[in-house]
Chains A and B, each alone.
Chain A
Amino acid sequence: MKCKRCHNDLIFYLEGQLDSPRAAQVEKHLEECPSCRDFAALLRETLSVVAAERNPETSPFFYSRVKARLSPPSGTADRPQWAWWLQPAFFTLLLLLGIFSGIKIGQLPQASHHSRLTSEELVPGFNEMKAEPIETFLME
């Protein structure tokens, strides 16, 4: 028997699912091949994890936790139906208000073009400085 053939049968051999002639062939190969023997030992140990993990000890409070999941959380049971809608409605309103004010602010630059001109007119000193070079000002 070759290693490849042995690998095909190995897990079935370890689980006792091979007929006796084939199981004998695998056994013979494992005696002769140290590499397959090592892998078989490791495979056996890994599969034995299932038996060790079977039926883990459960919490003594298991039933009370199930009961707690069944009863609605405190403070929400006596809440009227309309109260469930109040919070999302409030936040939707807030969002719409935000969008509306955003649009309004976005329209401001057109209106502020005029207001900028008026502000320049209101501060004539600075505008005059811009129009008159500093040299002319000093010469005078």
Chain B
Amino acid sequence: MTEAEMIQGVASGDENAFRLLVESYRQQVVNTCFGIVHNLADAEDVAQEVFVEVFRSASGFRADARLSTWLYRIAVNRSLNWVRSRKRRNWLLPFEGIFSAAHEPAGTETPASGIESRQRAQLLHRAVDSLPDNQRTAFVLNKYEELSYQQVAEVMELSVAAVESLLHRARKNLQKKLYACYRKNGL
């Protein structure tokens, strides 16, 4: 089944086409969401919302765009919205803590194992989170999804030069943040 047939099937309510679409793009969407939300359970939650949105708006999909590009856009927007709402929720955390003693902070569940690698992962996540949205998006698409500058430019609807500049600044900012952390820890 081609991309066009798949999306047409989803638009007409064909469950098999939708299942095929979810199975084909599940990894790509979860991976993108994970790069932004840094927690597998939350990434899966956001990815499920992405597919629900795809199902509901499949009829509005333009045939000239690539399905994966469209999915990346929805995944990035949904993940960034999720991070924003988490920030708002974190405002209430001190009050929630009074009522619930056992609260596990988001971002502790990573595939990397061991205390050291978990610390390194948290350090990287904090540095990535501190980037502006457009730099973070470009970084995640380029590093987690291994998209080329051209593909990132298509997803973000920018020129390749703009993406190059975004990634250059993202790398410099990441290094600056990480260097500050290392110096703070006495290195």
Q: A-side interface residues toward B, CB under 8 Å?
A: 7-8, 10-12, 15, 38-39, 42-43, 45-47, 49-50, 52-59, 62-63, 65-66, 69-70
Contacts and interface: CB of A to CB of B under 8 A. Distances in A.
A68 to B, nearest CB: 9
Nearest to B22: A63
A55 B31 contact: yes
Contact of B111 (A11, A45, A52): A52
B112 A52 contact: yes
Contacts of A15: 171
Given A62-B48, A66-B48, A53 B27 contact: no
A70 B120 CA distance: 38
Contact of A11 (B19, B123, B171): B171
B182 A53 contact: no
Interface in B173-187: 174-175, 178-179, 182, 187
Contacts of B73: none
B34 interface: yes
Contacts of B43: 56
A54 B121 CA distance: 12
Residue of A15, A43, A45, A66 most packed against chain B (CB within 10 A): A66
A62 B124 contact: no
A92 B80 CA distance: 36
B174 A53 contact: no
A55 B43 CA distance: 11
B134 interface: no
A59 B44 contact: yes
A107 B136 CA distance: 61
23 contacts: A11-B171, A15-B171, A39-B187, A43-B178, A46-B120, A49-B120, A52-B112, A52-B121, A53-B111, A53-B112, A53-B121, A55-B27, A56-B30, A56-B111, A58-B26, A59-B44, A62-B26, A62-B30, A62-B47, A62-B48, A63-B23, A65-B44, A66-B52
B129 interface: no
A67 B19 CA distance: 9
A14 to B, nearest CB: 9
A10 B175 contact: yes
B51 A54 contact: no
A54 B144 contact: yes
B30 A58 contact: yes
B93 to A, nearest CB: 25
Contact of A39 (B117, B121, B174, B182): B182
Nearest to B112: A52
Contacts of B144: 50, 53-54
A46 B118 CA distance: 10
A69 B52 contact: yes
Interface in B46-97: 47-49, 51-52, 55
Contacts of A58: 26-27, 30, 40, 44, 47
Residue of B19, B124, B146 most packed against chain A (CB within 10 A): B124
A70 B52 CA distance: 6
